[in-house]
Chains A and B, each alone.
Chain A
Amino acid sequence: MGLNAGWSETPGLKTRFVVVSVAAAVVFLLLLMRLWYLQVINADVYLRLSEKNRLRYIPVEAPRGSIYDRDGLLLVDNRPAFGVSVLRQDVEDSDLLLETLAGYLDEDAVTLHERYQKGKRLPAYRPLPLAEDIGRDRMEVIQENASDLPGLLTGVRPVRSYPYQESGAHLFGYLGEITEQQLQSQDFSGYRSGEFVGKSGVEKRLENTLRGHEGQQRLEVDVRGKLLRSLQTRDPFPGNRVYLTIKRDLQLAAEVAFEDHAGAAVMLDVHSGEVLALVSRPSFNPEAFAQGISSEEWISLLKDSRHPLQNKALTGQYPPGSTFKIVSALAALKSGLITASTSVECTGKLEVGDREFRCWKRTGHGKTNLKKALKESCDVWFYQVAQDLGIDRLSETASDLGLGSPLGIDLEGEKSGLIPTRDWKRRRFGAPWYDGETVIASIGQGYVLTTPLQLAVMTATVANGGTVYRPQVVKKIVDLVGNVLVEHSPEIIKSTPFSPRDLSAVHTGLVAAVNEPGGTAWSRKLDGLKVAGKTGTAQVVRLKDDDDKEEDEDKIPYRFRDHALFVAYAPADAPEVAVAVVVEHGRHGSSVAAPIAMKMMANYFGVDVGALPDHVPYAGD
């Protein structure tokens, strides 16, 4: 027994030790229960949170589907663009980051700051692009030196590239950043802010087809947001390939043929309505839009008086001028008013009511039948016929040929043109129709407006024996592995009520216009290819004194000059293609529009265009 014998027998001491031990055990049990709660019951929640801490999901943009011509020649592609972006949630010191980056990019830090500020409307976990298309060399330098800047990402994204620059721009369309409105609409569900979408042309029409499926890169970052490694990449799935109906070389040739002129040209396959070339001039370079166009460039395009952004082939509404005589001729034939041999005496003018209407040839064409009227484009012949025909029968025939309403081409923004009727005039102006108006309508002036596309369809209809096909630019859609998803077949809009004899009568006139001496397009005929065609000149303004017109032509301001038109099909005896060309303020169809059409024909049929004279005597349109 020790000196303290008995102390440990103090009453309750043993109990106290038991109580204290149990209390300690209970406290530890509580801690254990808490561990159970965190690690077993809520493990998933915390695992997700820990993954969220360390993982960054970076979307990998999918290349849009490439666009090819009908023969599989590449028209629109993608190229890799190296860019720098930041994940704002990981940026520690934005000033430092932007200053450093500005140094590497050789760019003004203020600009980067502006972009950064602007990007704050995006979620912080989304990469915010700061500099795009910086070039591989520059990106390598940044990758090597800027790894200590948390939040900085370098990457490569596909950017639309256009090997032929301005060529086909209106057909393909351009891309632009998705708008807030679009983001909120059902059609664009799944899109994210900052994405580029088709704004016009095929790009817009086939947006869903061309857009691929975004991939995703899973990156691991540390607490500073410093990129440690890429864990997994789900490759993006490129958009579907689109084959257009156009022929690349033909399209290029047509554009070259347009030189510096403004206007539009459409060439169609007469048996299917497929568009073989679609030109609108002046054009723009869609490459400028591929990564976002600057507001200065955008404004300058919008302010350009020659409207480079407008697809004039579909949306340009021009008086068809003498090309409309095809309609008038068919209307007269169909109505039985005339036959191919019905003759009219052209004295150079015709009085209708109290007004005198002149023929372009002041001395008159003399005795003129349908063939001659079309060949030499005699206005009086048509005035005469139109007087008896009346506007309603004329309009009906125009409509039969596809004029005056949209044709439903697979592109955006097609305009309807205008084929006037008595009803229309009453509704529009509250005024009756006058005979004089029918007279000028018969030669494609007055209220009549058509689009180049409609003129092409009209011409094709005459060429193929009376079938109106829906014009189309998309031939087929093929997925990544080559499965054909969609293949378009010709679509007939309607069959016209013209008899083969009537069509043949018009055909004869159109052949003569190009192939017989005295024809308005005689000087433009091709060796080795028989083309049927019709020239046209559309008055933009009615000059005060028509007599002085020829002498003063060069003095007329550009914007008041007449439009030049030409429609044609070939080979005349077994037509395959039809073309319509409108040259804004080009003055004469024969001298400006016809050469373009002929060059297109020559290209299509592989014939030598020959030495087309630069200037030919005016032979009337």
Chain B
Amino acid sequence: MFDRRLLTHFDWFFLGLVCLVAAIGMMNLYSASAPWSQGGTPIYVKQMYWFALGIVIALIVCMFDYRHLEYMGFFFYGFNVLLLVGVLLVGKTSMGATRWLDLGFFNLQPSEVMKIVIIITLACHFSRKGHAFGHNLRELVPPFSLLTIPVLLIMKQPDLGTSMMVVFIGLTVALFAGIQRLTFIGLTVLGFLGAYGGWFLLHDYQRERVYTFLNPERDPLGSGYHIIQSKIAVGSGGFWGKGFMKGTQSQLSFLPERHTDFAFSVFAEEWGFVGGFGLLALYLLIIIWGLYIARRAADKFGMFLALGVVAMLFWHMVVNLGMVIGLLPVVGVPLPLFSYGGTSMVTTMIGVGLLLNVSMRRFKF
């Protein structure tokens, strides 16, 4: 039976916030795609379709009680890991990466789904194995193992961006769940050593991206081109911006990937610091509100679930924004609700759905 209280407790504010950012994002895509005169459905319209689908998905996700997920988490996890293995065996290769499973009617990217699944899985784990004074090393072995398996599989595809996101989400949740001080220090040291070792596991092009990030000018027309042009777009926007649809960097196509990873650069060029500040504020509000939802969750599982989703949104935002303004290396991480792309939109909206779910059931017993 449908509980009417669910409607009264529905988090309209959060949904409104999400819709606002998505609307700004679509408006931005309208400008970013203006230079293309090719036929077919314009990408901002496609993005509207994706967002509409995302809303539907979010609402569907809201419908059932998130607590059911607590019993299904490990099943999802196992299934998703199998899909990732399947990708490596029979996946579809495009542009040098094998990331997709061809399901006939559409291409599934299991690594994207894994972001949500790892949130559910870790929420399951930490809600059950809560520890008042933080986890010690031994207690951290299971969650780390849960994290490591998909991460390695995704890195193998290779998809550095997504594997990094999964790691960030996992670490954030684990950190929040609590780690004993000594263990934390030890793990941090181990992490650095691991990163050092991992450097040698990276593909040449991935290392190249790091080099280029450190010094974009070393290859201004190659791998450094994106970041240089993005900084030019953002910087040339100035305080007030060049005006809607007047960003020369985007309108004249100097900015590559301007509808996907570099959508924010288009926005920053046209709306300047004022616009950038506003958008950042909205994103921060989403994060803070998400944390607020987590804080008020009816149970630990709900809290970790919400926290995981917030971590996912947060890291996507930070890594993407950091990337386009030259603070972080260029890794293909989309800006939630803003970058063009169905997968990103659907994943984000599933997360939004989970947050709404947790939020509206905060009073349920």
Q: Which of A2, A10, A21, A34 contacts B365, CB < 8 Å?
A: A2
Question: How far apart sit A2 and B364, CA to CA, in the bound complex (Å)?
Answer: 8
Which one, A215-223, A381-389, A533-541, is touching chain B?
A215-223
| Cβ-based interface call for B232 (8 A) | yes
Cross-chain contact B235 with A42 (CB below 8 angstroms):
yes
Residues from chain A with a CB closer than 8 A to the CB of B253 are: 222-224
Contacts of B108 in A (CB 8 A): none
Residues of B within 8 A of A47 (CB): 235-236, 238
Q: Which B residues are CB-close (under 8 A) to A46?
A: 231-232, 234-236
Question: Could you tell me the distance between the alpha carbons of A8 and B303 in the complex, rounded to whole angstroms?
Answer: 9
- Given that A31-B318, A35-B234, A50-B236 are known contacts, is A24 also in contact with B272, CB under 8 Å in the complex? no
Chain B, residues 69-95, CB within 8 Å of chain A (1/0): the string is 000000000000000000000000000
- Once the chains bind, are A31 and B248 in contact (CB under 8 Å)? no
Residues of B286-343 at the interface with A, using a CB-CB cut-off of 8 Å, are 287-288, 291, 294-295, 297-300, 303, 314, 318, 321-322, 325-327
Q: Which of chain B's residues have a CB closer than 8 A to the CB of A50?
A: 232-233, 235-236, 248-249, 254, 269
The residue of chain A having its C-beta at the shortest distance from the C-beta of B288 within the complex is A21
- Which 6 residue pairs of A and B lie closest in terms of their CB atoms, listed nearest first? A46-B235, A50-B236, A43-B238, A223-B253, A38-B235, A39-B273
Minimum CB distance partner of A35 in chain B: B276
Cα separation A224 to B253 with both chains bound (whole Å): 8
CA distance A50 to B252 in the complex (A): 10
Q: Complex formed: what's the CA distance from A34 to B277 in Å?
A: 11
Determine the chain B residues whose CB is within 8 A of the CB of A221 once the complex forms. Answer: 252
Among A14, A43, A222, residue most surrounded by chain B Cβ atoms (within 10 Å): A43
Q: Contact between A17 and B321 (Cβ–Cβ < 8 Å)?
A: no
Which residues of A sit under 8 angstroms from B234, Cβ to Cβ? 35, 38-39, 46
Selected from A14, A16, A39, the residue in CB contact (under 8 A) with B272 is A39
B325 touches A31 (CB 8 A): yes
* Interface magnitude class on chain A: 35 or more
Residues of A within 8 A of B299 (CB): 2-4, 7
Task: Say yes or no: is A49 at the interface (Cβ < 8 Å to chain B).
Answer: yes
Does chain A have a CB within 8 A of B176? yes
Is the beta-carbon distance between A40 and B239 smaller than 8 angstroms?
yes
The closest CB in chain B to the CB of A30 belongs to B327
Show 11 A/B contacts (Cβ-Cβ < 8 Å), sorted by A: A31-B322, A31-B325, A38-B234, A39-B237, A39-B239, A39-B272, A43-B239, A46-B235, A50-B236, A53-B229, A54-B249
CA distance A593 to B285 in the complex (A): 102
Q: Which residues of A contact B194 (CB under 8 A)?
A: none
Bound CA–CA A51/B254 (angstroms)? 11
Assembled-state Cα–Cα distance A2/B67 (Å): 14
Residue B268 lies at the interface, judged by CB distance under 8 Å to chain A: yes
Within 8 Å CB of B273, what residues of A? 35-36, 39-40
Q: Is B280's beta carbon under 8 Å from chain A?
A: yes
Chain B residue at smallest Cβ distance from A48: B236
For residues 34 through 76 of chain A, which have their beta carbon under 8 Å from a beta carbon of chain B? 34-36, 38-40, 42-43, 45-47, 49-51, 53-54
Question: Which of chain B's residues have a CB closer than 8 A to the CB of A8?
Answer: 295, 297, 303
Most chain B C-beta atoms within 10 Å of own C-beta, residue among A10, A14, A39, A43? A39
Supposing A35-B325, A39-B276, A45-B235 touch, asked if A16 and B176 sit within 8 A by C-beta, the answer is yes
Q: Interface residues, chain B, CB within 8 Å of chain A?
A: 35, 130, 132, 176, 178, 229, 231-239, 248-249, 252-254, 268-269, 272-273, 276-277, 280, 283-284, 287-288, 291, 294-295, 297-300, 303, 314, 318, 321-322, 325-327, 365
Given contacts A7-B299, A20-B176, A54-B254, contact A43 B288 (CB under 8 A): no
Contact of A53 among B176, B252, B272 (CB under 8 A): B252
Q: How far is the CA of A223 from the CA of B233 in the complex (A)?
A: 13
Q: Beyond A10-B130, A43-B236, A50-B236, list 11 extra A-B contacts (CB 8 Å).
A: A8-B297, A8-B303, A25-B288, A30-B327, A38-B235, A39-B237, A43-B239, A45-B235, A50-B232, A223-B254, A228-B252
Identity of the chain B residue whose Cβ is nearest the Cβ of A1 in the assembled complex: B365
Contact A53 B294, CB 8 Å, known A7-B300, A24-B314, A34-B325: no
A49:B294 contact, CB within 8 angstroms: no
| In the bound complex, CA of A261 to CA of B326 (Å) | 77
Instruction: Compute how far the CA of A559 lies from the CA of B229 in the bound complex, rounded to whole angstroms.
Output: 72
Which of A12, A31, A220 is close to B280, meaning CB atoms less than 8 Å apart? A31
With known contacts A2-B365, A7-B299, A31-B280, A39–B248 Cβ distance under 8 A = no
**Complex interface: chain A residues within 8 A of B277 (CB):** 32, 35
Q: What's the nearest-Cβ distance from chain A to residue B279, in Å? A: 10
- Chain B nearest CB from A227 CB (Å) reads 11
Chain A residues contacting B229 (CB-CB under 8 Å) are 53
- Shortest C-beta distance, B324 to chain A (Å), equals 10
CA–CA, A45 and B237, complex, Å: 11
Chain A residues near B233 (CB-CB < 8 A): 50
B268 contacts across to A, CB distance below 8 A: 35, 39
Main SS of the interface on chain B? helix
Q: Is the CB of A53 within 8 A of B295?
A: no
CB nearest neighbor in A for B253: A223
- Closest Cβ of chain B: how far from A295's Cβ, in Å? 37
Report if A11 contacts B (CB, 8 A).
yes
B252 touches A222 (CB 8 A): yes
Q: Does A164 contact B (CB under 8 A)?
A: no
**Is A28 part of the contact surface with B, judged by Cβ < 8 Å?**
yes
A413 to chain B, nearest CB (A): 51
Please indicate the chain A residues that have their CB under 8 angstroms from the CB of B238 in the complex: 39-40, 43, 47
Determine whether A27 belongs to the interface, using a CB cutoff of 8 Å to chain B.
yes
* Cβ–Cβ < 8 Å partners of B249 in chain A: 50, 53-54
- Docked complex: A112-160 residues within 8 A CB-CB of B: none
Measured CA separation A209–B5 after assembly (Å): 91
Give Cα distance in the complex from A12 to B273, angstroms.
Answer: 37
A54 near B365 with CB under 8 A, answer no
CA distance A167 to B19 in the complex (A): 81
- Contact between A32 and B280, CB atoms less than 8 A apart: yes
B252 CB contacts on chain A under 8 angstroms = 53-54, 220-223, 228
CB contacts (< 8 Å) of A35 on chain B: these are: 234, 268, 273, 276-277, 280, 325
Contacts of A7 in B (CB 8 A): 130, 299-300
Q: Which residues of A contact B326 (CB under 8 A)?
A: 34, 38
Contacts of A21 in B (CB 8 A): 288, 291
Q: How far is the CA of A310 from the CA of B143 in the complex (A)?
A: 95
A14 to B322, CA, bound (A): 29
Docked CA distance A221–B253 (Å): 10
Residues in B with CB closer than 8 Å to A25 are 284, 288
Question: Which residues of chain A are near B291, meaning CB under 8 Å?
Answer: 17, 20-21, 24
Contact between B235 and A53 (Cβ–Cβ < 8 Å)?
no
CA A27 to CA B313, docked complex, whole Å: 13
Residue of B nearest to A25 (CB): B284
CB distance from B297 to the nearest CB of A (A): 8
Q: Which residues of chain A are within 8 angstroms of B248 by Cβ–Cβ distance?
A: 50-51, 53-54
CB atoms of A38 and B300 under 8 A apart: no
Q: With A39-B239, A43-B236 in contact, do A24 and B284 touch (Cβ < 8 Å)?
A: yes
Closest to A27 in B: B318
Give Cα A36–Cα B272 distance, bound, in whole angstroms: 10
Chain A positions 202-225 with a Cβ under 8 Å from a chain B Cβ: 220-224
Cross-chain contact B283 with A4 (CB below 8 angstroms): no
Q: Which residues of B contact A24 (CB under 8 A)?
A: 284, 287-288, 291, 314
A32 to B248, CA, bound (A): 23
B181 to chain A, nearest CB (A): 12
Q: Decide: A17 near B287, CB < 8 A? Known: A10-B130, A46-B232, A47-B238.
A: no
> Which residues of B lie under 8 Å from residue A222 when comparing CB positions?
35, 252-254
